[in-house]
Structure 1
């Protein structure tokens, strides 16, 4: 009994020691910055000590949520782009299923590598490639001009009407291969005896996919979809930072980029912090709401 307790104590100490660096990093970069939330209650100006800064209470919350605020337009862009991303969520599942059904392993690796590689390319390089391809003097317009298909050049990156859909397409191109890896892992976890039994019963390939593969990866899809819903206010910053231009400014001004503009470019730290606090509160509310929905639907909570 003593040896078992001693062994458990050593294992527990080792596990805590392994987790400690990550816990410290998380505390430093995620919890200590929360003390900066105090700036939402002060009319803070850089260089002036907080003790000498006027206390304004909930003034910045009233400005953010009051009539005439730009926040509502920003939230519209954020929700529309997040909703479009949710609509494309089944596409990585379809790609994973098609890859799992390929019998030619070399072609399978080629497709998987080709679709996954864009995930590791920075958004700055993606914008450079997009600019060289789709700008007015880009490759696409040159080819169209040589073939006499279009007289007027296509301004893809400055198309205000299609800005949401174009950015969704870029995001899908960049992430579809990496997201498919998650579903490939889920497919590999399905019991192979189910496929053998289906073949014995005379099921064809489409029937096997519909009745075995799809139900097998559905729990993974639901969890990822629910987590995406809880993260609706986070579209990312880098993509809209590099693709932002005056022609599509009113469509790409999402919440993360709006906080950057107000806080860094305009120097209104208190108001930008207020928007950040608002985003955190709403995101937490969405997360716990989705967690309760998942608990009722799946019988098991996500977090």
Structure 2
């Protein structure tokens, strides 16, 4: 599409589930759940541009650009609507897709997602620092890379719960041997993170989920994005279903694939797909988001958030 190779897996039959992976990963991160979901659904799992087997050009790596790319892929494949499932950075893309293309989004499932608070692991913030590209180039030489990835995989099997995700870190680190991949990931991170943490947020648009079913899934032991962000989602979007999976890290779909699939299937089974109502969407936009909590007086307890005042209409 648009002159660039886009890799994807599509399998199964039935209503479509679009799986969006996180930063530095590819469709294989969903391997433990693809076949299970495909028993009841059509599963589409792409490699985002700059990742996996997709091309890694000098291009637009913003969440909006990725959302456009998913719209175009669905169009090429003849898919009108889907339940969109996004993990980590892919959660940010999923939220942006739902915002840009509500008429094509049946439901939204966010898994250890970005965009729900500023906090993120320092390892990701480090990608934005000057010299990252050169340092990782030096660390990706064969001898150093092989020794480091082997050590990370060994640690992931140590039984220490906070180290369980290091096998995925090893795969991401191994992919950084490709200079094009390093450049793409650097562009992605700079679009969504700075030295203070995450830049993108759904806080100012979460009220729009009133018109769309949303489920939030988090690993209780997530070391990349704090599990507290799941509570943020529940506050921002009170109608959202929140599922915390015990004994799971940043990749709950890999730690407990059967439970993850049950959650997704049950969410789809018990909710009606969103049907975009342009008039209701306009009304929500006009009413506005929840404004910041108002304090009764300096240092006083915050009052409950309230909606911004409706804009007065001309008589």
Query: What TM-score bracket applies, with the shorter chain setting the length?
Result: under 0.3
State TM-score, norm by structure 1: 0.24
- Structure with bigger gyration radius: 1
> Larger RCO: Structure 1 or Structure 2 (Cα < 8 Å, ≥ 6 residues apart)?
1
Q: Quick check: which one's helix share is greater?
A: 1
State TM-score, norm by structure 2: 0.23
